[in-house]
Amino acid sequence: MAPSSPAAERPPAFVFVGGRLWLDFVNTDDARLGTRVDTIASFDRFVDWLAEARAVDPDRAVALQRRALEQPSGAAAALVEARRVRAALRALAERGRTDQGERAREGALAEINRVLGRSVGTRRVEALPDGGYVRSFVPVGDVFGGLVIPVVESAVDSLVHGELLRIHKCADRRCPRHFFDDSRSRTRRWCDMRECGNRAKAARHRRRG
Ligand SMILES: [Zn+2]
């Protein structure tokens, strides 16, 4: 293996600020300091994200990454599929609540139903060591099949529960992240107070000074 630079050794960290699994997935198409960054730049990173998001359990994540070494083309296809779903869900997050969002809603619905219709497997609920529970999907046949099912089901939940109106983009113009506003006052503006919120506060201070 070629020696890698320190920057390449540490891939960009995942952020979980969306408040909904599918929005966290949309936010893997991220930006750092104004530059677009895909935090799932490889199948391995995609599986890392699924594990951190608790959409696959740690044992299965390791097994998937091992299988990816044996079947790189299957893994690559699964990543392409995941990014395709992500693009449709991003359009839904960006425009789904608007009057002009009909095409985004239709596109997302078609994509969601395509994924749900193609995936053969078993739905389960798993107990976590910390006392929580997660839904999981165990595919039959294709080991790389159905990886985005938990993501897609989370989007279905948002649609069914009429949550689109409470999904917003971060108020920082350069930040592409979306979140579900579950604040009581419904006035959340930033993806993360510690990042974009603080930056805005600092900018206001500078203008005043
Ligand atoms: Zn932000």
Number of residues assigned to the chain = 209
Cα 184 to ligand 1 centre (Å): 20
Q: Does domain 14-208 have CATH number 1.10.3300.10?
A: yes
CA distances from 6 to 1, 3, 14, 48, 120 (A): 15, 10, 18, 20, 41
Segments making up each domain of the chain, as ranges:
14-208
Cα 110 to ligand 1 centre (Å): 29
Cβ–Cβ under 8 Å, residues 136 and 154 = no
Cα 33 to ligand 1 centre (Å): 11
Cβ–Cβ under 8 Å, residues 65 and 44 = yes
In order along the chain (209 residues), what is the average pLDDT of each group of 10 residues? 57 94 97 90 97 90 96 97 97 93 95 92 86 84 90 96 96 94 92 85 79
Tell whether pTM > 0.75.
Answer: yes
pLDDT on residue 42:
97
Cα 18 to ligand 1 centre (Å): 10
Cα 88 to ligand 1 centre (Å): 21
Cα 103 to ligand 1 centre (Å): 26
Cα 194 to ligand 1 centre (Å): 9
Cα 68 to ligand 1 centre (Å): 33
Cα 42 to ligand 1 centre (Å): 24
pLDDT on residue 137:
85
Cα 190 to ligand 1 centre (Å): 5
Chain position carrying tokens 């966290």: 24
From the list 13, 39, 35, the residue with the least C-alpha distance to 26 is: 39
d(CA 48, CA 56): 9
Q: Report the half-sphere exposure of 37 (CA within 13 A, side-chain side).
A: 16
Q: Strand 35-38 relative to strand 29-32: parallel, antiparallel, unpaired?
A: antiparallel
Cα 143 to ligand 1 centre (Å): 35
DSSP 170-182: -SSTT---EEE--
Cα 17 to ligand 1 centre (Å): 9
Q: Strand 178-180 relative to strand 133-139: parallel, antiparallel, unpaired?
A: unpaired
